[in-house]
A and B are shown apart, each in its own frame.
Chain A
Amino acid sequence: MSKRYGMMIDLERCIGCHTCTISCKFENNIEKGSGIRVETVGGPQMDTPGGKYPNLSMHYLPIPCMHCNEPPCIDVCPVEAISKREDGIVIIDEDKCDGCESCITECPYGTIIFDKEKDIARKCSLCSHRIDEGQVPFCVVCCETEAMYFGDINDPESDVSKMISKSNAKTIVKDTDTGPAVYYSPTRNGKIT
């Protein structure tokens, strides 16, 4: 089977520190926004729990590009700027992108952002430039609680695949199954979203 790069994020480990968000900005020179955002699952605002005091719950959900098996963003791009590499990474060709924002609307996970300065769409490339040099994505390097695992999810012997099966990790479920390559190990209460 061919390679397919993906990630697993341990939601019990994640502390919502946003270091992934900031590390992505540095590595990929993204001035506004980031290739990965951290949502609070609980209350309506960042860092707020759901429930009624003191019976509360909260956890965090980091959301990078899902590098889908069937990426809806590719189909809607009128200038064919988005493509899927042989290793499964979905990338935007910044030279081709004309900033129409169709992909931003289409992505069910809301992971594509608009770069006003460059007038193009941008998103997580899994740090493909680093992967091509044998390194791992920068957010994985910087994660404060070592909650992120990267590797070939098609190789059952890879660390990430082992972690996925060991922790019964799942992908985010949307109306249409796009086949995400980002898995989440649920919280101790079995929650992902």
Chain B
Amino acid sequence: MTTTGKKEVIRTYCCIEDGIMCGLLAHVEDGVLKKVEPADFPEDPGMKHVCLRGLCTVKLVYHPDRLKYPMKRVGERGEGKWEKISWDEAFDTIAEKFKGTAEKYGEEAVAIASGGFFSSVVNMIFSRLANAIQGTLISLGGYGDFGGPCGDMTTFGIPMGERFIQDVEDPGMYVFWGANYTETYPLRWRKIRDAKEKGAKLVVIDPLFTSSASKADDYIPIRPGTDSALALGMMNVVLEKGLEDKEFMTKYTVGPFLVKTDDGMFLRNPDDPEKYMVWDLKTDSVKSSEEDGVEPAMEGTFTVSGIECRPSYQLLVDLASEYTLEKTSEITEIPEEAIEKLALDYIEKRPVASCRGWGVQRTFHGDLTHRAIAALAALTGNLRRVGFRTIPLNFLGYTAVEGRAAKSLPIMNLYDAIEKGDPYQVKALWTSSHNILSQDANNNRLIKEVIPELDFYVVNELFMTTSAKYADIVLPASTFYECMGLSTTYDVQVIPYIQLMQKVIEPMYDTKPDFEIACEVGKRMGFPEYFNKSVEENIELMLSNQNDLSIERLRQGPVKAPMNVEGENWEFTTPSKKIEFYSEKLKKFGEELPLYKEPLESNRRPKAEKYPLSYFSTHTKFRKHSMYANVDWLKELDPGPVVEMNPVDAEARSISTGDIVTVTNDRGKAKVKAKVHEGIKPGIVNIKQGWWHTDFIEGHHQELTQSEINPAQTAALEPNMSLLDNLVEVSREGGHE
């Protein structure tokens, strides 16, 4: 290469932290990316941000192990025997196999799982491809991220109610429910830090003493998966002392709506089933809730045409009343005084911001937990409408294919679809930006029972991940520095800017951007008119519904989304247009109220006799999912997987730090070194997630996780993986570091 000494600084954004998308300035010398630094958002100086992983994206680009050319499998699946092929052969084979599968099993038997669309909406080209071939588009939300959304869809009618419950202005207190923002969400942490510096209190509820816990005024250790019991116990404290915000509950929630005792459904207006009925205290009679001058009863039992009814608020009060301090403390293992103090703080420190982290949603009943915390926030008058910033882009136009549509299948249902043909047969799979064989639950089931049932499996990747290793065709993808893309804005995003991902360097080796790969397959599947336009033309198509947006405009810098304010008449997108702490839809699961249910694999289940330890696989600052696990500079700081355990549990098993131990259950095992320390509640062990199979002495952290489906979550939105709801035992192997 000729060196001209040409130095450039090109603005792009970090697409690897999906959902955050920090602005980056890429320093390029003679076509080589040297380093990146955080880029300014002049209107929002606090958004200039980069993390250690963001800096290390450069290390991914020039990593010696990058996939350099397309390959086809020549040995057994997973054996690692490959033959280099041309892109043409790769594309032709994929098209031929997809067509063959569709012919034999039906079009929906070809499934595409693409996880990259949050990072660059250009990657929604995979949705267009799935629509064109009328295949199956896998929804990836259930990979650990939909427990909360299942709850919030029920309560608020949107997947993430963070703008009501967390983004309150000038909070007197932040409460982290299983959240560790200092490690996993540092840009959001800045806001909390600012509030703390102005005097806000921070309470962290977590069985792990995280770096966030180290910043807390009160640290509340809790038994895993019992947060909804805590929320109910707190509601009871508030109700017993008469401190509840009944006005809010009356005005904005389903609280006044009458529920029939016999079937648990809301009493409707017989002339208009859209209307809900309340008991009017003024006239002592039943009325439509919307009628003028109605003064609805919130408590009591009423008989309407011989049917016994109660306001749903009364049902919530009844439920909460079961959670006395004594009972709540027994379930959660939190001292009674701490529960009472936190409950009173929810009143005294108003407005209180509740931050519900992945810790509370990755249990089998994570949706109930989110609902219970939302109900607590409502009852204590801590919900707010601060608005949110988004610019809606023309995604529908981008993904639509006239007269054709893909089927949608949740990731958790993909297991049964491939293995048992339930709800229908999937026989060909393409995973893109999703390392299914490293990051999804019940790894042994996937590798030994699910993937072998596939006729054909394609992966486009940067590296030979475990997923790539089990593929039939592996395609070398370009990094985000090697192609163009576009960020998006959505309501809970911390950086509410549309940013342009500019091509910083040419694609390395014989790699191709994901967009091009999808287009080449689309053309060969018989849809050239949908896949023959450039990425620039497609970005313009997405921007076409916004008059002042264009690639040219975005090249000059990011564009901030305007504030959307909630209307005067605060309505929700729930069936009742109110906050639904009571859900008719979930009555058939016994979950009409946000009750506490013992976690599926809690340490109080019979299974705990054999596997007494609760098992976590938490996020870490050193990786993002399975990314960066192969970056040597990060491995200097965090060399490999360890199982963390409390000295109490370690001593009982004669384990010391550095000992080689095996973490097991009926699903699998992980052989790692032990790290014994006080920062973890006795009875729990944790292997931080993201390590590859090759990093373990034996097994893998995902071998231990269950893939059970919660039908109530299916009804609410989409079932979620219960990555923090698993039991294991740990035994010493005899070896030492």
Q: Does A43 contact B (CB under 8 A)?
A: yes
Which of B37, B46, B633, B682 counts the most A-chain CB atoms under 10 A from its CB? B633
Tally of contacts, chain A with chain B, CB under 8 A: 108
> Roughly how many angstroms separate A17 CA and B619 CA in the complex, as a whole number?
13
Q: Does A145 contact B (CB under 8 A)?
A: yes
> Roughly how many angstroms separate A190 CA and B680 CA in the complex, as a whole number?
25
Q: Does B678 contact A (CB under 8 A)?
A: yes
B186 adjacent to A16 (CB under 8 Å): no
B214 adjacent to A49 (CB under 8 Å): yes
Residues of B close to A58: CB separation below 8 A: 209, 211, 214, 679
**Nearest CB of chain A from residue B228's CB, rounded to whole Å:** 21
B193 adjacent to A145 (CB under 8 Å): yes
Residues of A close to B633: CB separation below 8 A: 22, 25
Q: Does B677 contact A (CB under 8 A)?
A: yes
A53 adjacent to B646 (CB under 8 Å): yes
How many residues of A are counted as interface, with CB atoms below 8 angstroms from the partner's CB atoms?
39
Closest to A37 in B: B637
The stretch from B47-55, B572-580, B586-594 touching chain A is: B47-55
Q: Does B529 contact A (CB under 8 A)?
A: no
B678 adjacent to A22 (CB under 8 Å): no
Q: A58-B209, A58-B211 are in contact. Are A26 and B677 (CB under 8 A)?
A: no
> Roughly how many angstroms separate A45 CA and B52 CA in the complex, as a whole number?
20
**Nearest CB of chain B from residue A141's CB, rounded to whole Å:** 6
A18 adjacent to B637 (CB under 8 Å): yes
Which single member of A45, A47, A48, A141 contacts B38 (CB below 8 Å)? A141
In chain A, residues 44-72, which have Cβ atoms closer than 8 Å to a Cβ of chain B?
Answer: 44-54, 56-60
In chain B, residues 190-233, which have Cβ atoms closer than 8 Å to a Cβ of chain A?
Answer: 190, 193, 209, 211, 213-215, 219, 221
Q: A141-B37, A141-B38, A144-B186 are in contact. Are A56 and B679 (CB under 8 A)?
A: yes
Residues of B close to A145: CB separation below 8 A: 186, 189-190, 193
Q: Does A138 contact B (CB under 8 A)?
A: yes
Residues of A close to B51: CB separation below 8 A: 17, 19, 144
A26 adjacent to B58 (CB under 8 Å): yes
Residues of B close to A56: CB separation below 8 A: 209, 213-214, 219, 678-679
Residues of A close to B214: CB separation below 8 A: 42, 49, 56-59
**Nearest CB of chain A from residue B599's CB, rounded to whole Å:** 20
Residues of A close to B46: CB separation below 8 A: 146
Q: Does A13 contact B (CB under 8 A)?
A: yes
Which single member of B50, B211, B646 contacts A15 (CB below 8 Å)? B211
Q: Which residues of A contact B (CB under 8 A)?
A: 12-13, 15-19, 21-23, 25-27, 32-33, 42-54, 56-60, 138, 141-142, 144-146
Nearest 6 A/B pairs, CB to CB? A48-B677, A15-B182, A58-B214, A54-B221, A26-B35, A22-B52
A-B residue pairs in contact (CB < 8 Å), sample of 30: A15-B182, A15-B211, A17-B621, A19-B51, A23-B55, A26-B35, A32-B636, A42-B214, A43-B678, A43-B679, A44-B677, A45-B657, A47-B679, A48-B677, A52-B678, A53-B209, A53-B682, A54-B209, A54-B219, A56-B214, A56-B678, A57-B214, A58-B209, A60-B211, A138-B37, A142-B37, A144-B49, A144-B50, A146-B46, A146-B190
Given contacts A19-B52, A25-B633, 13 further A-B contacts (CB under 8 A): A15-B183, A26-B34, A46-B637, A51-B678, A53-B678, A53-B681, A54-B219, A56-B209, A56-B214, A56-B219, A58-B209, A58-B211, A146-B190
Q: Which residues of B contact A (CB under 8 A)?
A: 34-35, 37-38, 46, 49-52, 55-56, 58, 182-183, 186-187, 189-190, 193, 209, 211, 213-215, 219, 221, 621, 633-634, 636-638, 646, 657, 675, 677-682
